[in-house]
Chains A and B, each alone.
Chain A
Amino acid sequence: EAQVTQNPRYLITVTGKKLTVTCSQNMNHEYMSWYRQDPGLGLRQIYYSMNVEVTDKGDVPEGYKVSRKEKRNFPLILESPSPNQTSLYFCASSPWTGYNEQFFGPGTRLTVL
């Protein structure tokens, strides 16, 4: 089944403890992106990748890192999480940057205490 998977789906952690949220797609898509969703602010783009080894900042990249070493995976790394990174995170992919549809993962709800 064609899909975007995220792990974990739920995570409660403490300030400063490094964590990684994984994102994987099995559709051979070139474009992948991370978003966070917060009440009253909506969705905001964190980072995106137009292909392997090509990443760029979105609107809210501070406090996050990404890597794209292979086409299928695009992990989101929080080196030192803080409470203001408590949010709902979505990964998405599409065949190429301007494609008419993005395929979203199910979301990861992160709480940083």
Chain B
Amino acid sequence: KNEVEQSPQNLTAQEGEFITINCSYSVGISALHWLQQHPGGGIVSLFMLSSGKKKHGRLIATINIQEKHSSLHITASHPRDSAVYICAVRSRGSQGNLIFGKGTKLSVKP
């Protein structure tokens, strides 16, 4: 059983659409990260959440600790948002340990 599950695995959207990517986890966590992996392979951190909601530009991330669920939203999607989005949780019992979801591959068509 995977400790971090993402859905959907693959997502195709038209430019301008509102996009939601979901992440559910089964372990106790101290924080949750959203990462973006570009088509060229590079990985960048987008958000770290321990509660509530964060916004950066067109990206919004939310987390519900009680339900063990987080969502990443992209408003007014653009082809340059095409990437793999990865959820990772920081285990509460081991602060240095990160457990990753398998990623959601997003393709935004013009």
Interface residues of A (CB under 8 A from B): 31, 33, 35, 40-45, 48-50, 56, 58-59, 88, 90, 92, 97-104, 106-107
- The yes or no answer to B44 lying at the interface (CB within 8 A) is yes
Find out whether the CB atom of A45 lies under 8 angstroms from the CB atom of B86. Answer: no
Given the known interface contacts A98-B90, A101-B48, the answer about A42 and B96 at a Cβ–Cβ threshold of 8 Å is: no
User: A98 touching B95 by the CB < 8 A rule?
Assistant: yes
- Say yes or no: A98-B45 contact (C-beta < 8 A), given A45-B98, A48-B97: no
Q: How far is the CB of A29 from chain B (nearest CB, A)?
A: 13
Name A102's contact: one of B45, B94, B97, B102 (CB within 8 Å).
B45
On whether the beta carbons of B100 and A43 are closer than 8 Å, the reply is yes
Can you show 18 pairs from A to B with CB atoms below 8 A apart?
Answer: A33-B96, A33-B98, A35-B100, A42-B103, A43-B86, A48-B96, A50-B95, A56-B96, A58-B97, A59-B99, A90-B43, A98-B30, A98-B90, A98-B95, A99-B48, A101-B45, A102-B45, A103-B45
The answer for the CA separation of A44 and B97 in the assembled complex, in Å, is 10
B30 touches A40 (CB 8 A): no
Q: How far apart are the CA atoms of A1 and B103 in the complex, in Å?
A: 29
Which residues between 53 and 90 of chain B lie within 8 Å of chain A, taking CB atoms?
A: 86, 88, 90
B95 CB, min distance to chain A CBs, angstroms: 5
Instruction: Pick from B30, B33, B48 the residue with the most CB of A within 10 Å.
Output: B48
Query: Which of B43, B45, B100 has the most chain A CB atoms inside 10 A of its CB?
Result: B43
Query: A31–B96 contact, CB under 8 A?
Result: yes
B42 near A: Cβ within 8 Å?
Answer: yes
Bound-state CA distance A103–B41 (Å) is 14
In the complex, residue of chain B having the shortest beta-carbon distance to the beta carbon of A44: B100
When the two chains form the complex, which single residue of A58, A88, A98, A102 contacts B41, counting CB atoms closer than 8 Å? A88
CB distance from B48 to the nearest CB of A (A): 4
